[in-house]
């Protein structure tokens, strides 16, 4: 039975990065760059004012109280039509190009303004409040890298480069299939021991959150015929996710199909809790993750294996959940027979991070995920953890 790390390594060895495509800047948010972005421009393109104020020569303002004639007013988007001369100041707005001869900009609040003159109440330093050409970005600089996630700041940088089209990796089509006679879709009324398939919608949401395109195949009943019919609709998918059908039951057919000729069962079971009955293999040439059927096990296995696979397909260079070290807010006990991903609540108290369990930790208790924001990683071989002891956490949600 492979460890989590080994199982992930095996899965990722079957996953290929998808080809690139070009999208408009407006559609690039949330995508991963397929190329380095090298600047063809300098930003800013000219020396400009960082403040609303007055452009001055240093020799005219060597001591507080100097009064200068206001030669002109320079709004942003315009250039001065004359150089700054002795005894003069030019009223300048934020972003306006620095006029020739000016050596500093005095903030407006450090002046006393008159109708035609201005008194400088604070002596500026040389180049104070001046932003220089190329200060942010120089020509030929690699400003964004292949594999970077395009967020709002990256959109702004690309816009400043006048990039109307952005090279990104394609988003994978991820087929999602729930299995079992006991589950119903959300528009069906449960009766006689049936339950609503929360996993279907959880997996769809997880795929979307990771950046993939979900292809919902519905629910396959516990017959070969229905399973094969549902699987046939996944032929164009880049990845196939199933929930259920990979444990020890008589009707757990997904694992059986993987093991048949023409497909492959690469491994079954992972040394983890929850999520041990996970199967990975190929069905009709499609990498397939048979996730466990219990809701928490489904989500935990997704975060450990499916999410990294989806992110690798999109060319992301960071594919694992972010980690943090935190102090335990309570003492914990652990069977220690395998690593456990305990659902926790991570909070910041002053300069320290503290974490504690969400409550009942059964693999069917989906509210333990909804009320938490992280996994508390309890390693194999250690049974007791003291209050205040540091533990590793993996974040699947933001915390405050």
Q: Sketch out the chain's domains with CATH numbers.
A: 4-16+171-313 (3.40.980.10), 23-43+136-169 (3.90.105.10), 48-131 (2.170.190.11), 323-395 (2.40.340.10)
Q: Is-contact 176 216, C-beta < 8 A? A: yes
**Regions in the chain scoring below 50 on pLDDT:** none
Q: For residues 371-395, b (16+ Cβ closer than 10 Å) or e, as one string?
A: ebbbbbbbeeeeeebeeeeebebbb
Q: Is-contact 295 196, C-beta < 8 A? A: no
Chain center to CA of 218: 28
Overall pTM surpassing 0.85 (yes/no) = yes
List of residues 6+ apart from 331 with CB closer than 8 A: 384, 385, 386, 387
Alpha carbon of 87 to those of 67, 109, 136, 365: distances in Å?
Answer: 8, 20, 32, 76
Dig out the tokens for 78 from the structure. 């315009």
């Amino acid at each position: 039975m492979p460890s989590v790390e080994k199982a992930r390594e095996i899965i990722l060895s079957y996953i290929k990065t998808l080809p690139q495509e070009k999208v408009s800047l407006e559609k690039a948010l949330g995508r991963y760059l397929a190329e380095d972005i090298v600047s063809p421009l300098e930003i800013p393109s000219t020396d400009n004012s960082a403040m609303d104020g007055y452009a001055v020569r240093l020799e005219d303002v060597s001591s507080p109280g100097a009064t200068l004639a206001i030669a002109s007013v320079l709004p942003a988007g315009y250039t001065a039509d004359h150089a700054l001369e002795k005894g003069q100041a030019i009223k300048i707005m934020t972003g306006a190009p620095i006029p020739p001869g000016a050596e500093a900009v005095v903030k407006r609040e450090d002046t006393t303004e008159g109708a035609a003159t201005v008194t400088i109440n604070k002596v500026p330093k040389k180049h104070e409040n001046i932003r220089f050409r190329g200060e942010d970005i120089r020509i030929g600089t690699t400003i964004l890298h292949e594999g970077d996630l395009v967020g709002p700041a990256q959109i702004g940088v690309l816009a400043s480069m006048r990039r109307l089209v952005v090279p990104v990796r394609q988003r994978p089509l991820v087929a999602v299939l729930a299995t079992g006679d006991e589950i119903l879709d959300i528009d069906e009324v449960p009766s006689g021991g049936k339950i609503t398939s929360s996993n279907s919608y959880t997996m769809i949401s997880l795929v979307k959150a990771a950046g993939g395109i979900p292809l919902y195949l519905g629910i396959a009943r516990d017959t070969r015929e229905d399973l094969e019919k549902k699987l046939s609709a996944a032929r164009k998918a880049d990845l196939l996710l199933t929930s259920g059908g990979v444990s020890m039951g008589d009707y757990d057919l997904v694992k059986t199909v993987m093991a048949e000729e023409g497909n492959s069962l690469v491994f079954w079971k992972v040394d983890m809790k929850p999520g041990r009955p996970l199967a990975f293999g190929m069905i009709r040439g499609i990498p397939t993750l048979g996730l466990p059927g219990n809701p928490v096990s489904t989500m935990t296995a997704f975060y450990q294996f499916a999410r990294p696979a989806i992110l690798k397909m999109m060319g992301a260079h960071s594919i694992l959940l972010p980690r943090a070290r935190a102090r335990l807010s309570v003492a914990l006990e652990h069977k220690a027979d395998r690593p456990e991903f305990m659902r926790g609540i991570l909070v910041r108290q002053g300069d320290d991070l503290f974490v504690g369990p969400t409550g009942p930790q059964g693999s069917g208790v989906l509210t333990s995920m909804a009320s938490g924001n992280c996994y508390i990683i309890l390693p194999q071989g250690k049974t007791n953890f003291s209050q205040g002891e540091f533990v590793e956490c993996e974040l699947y949600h933001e915390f405050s």
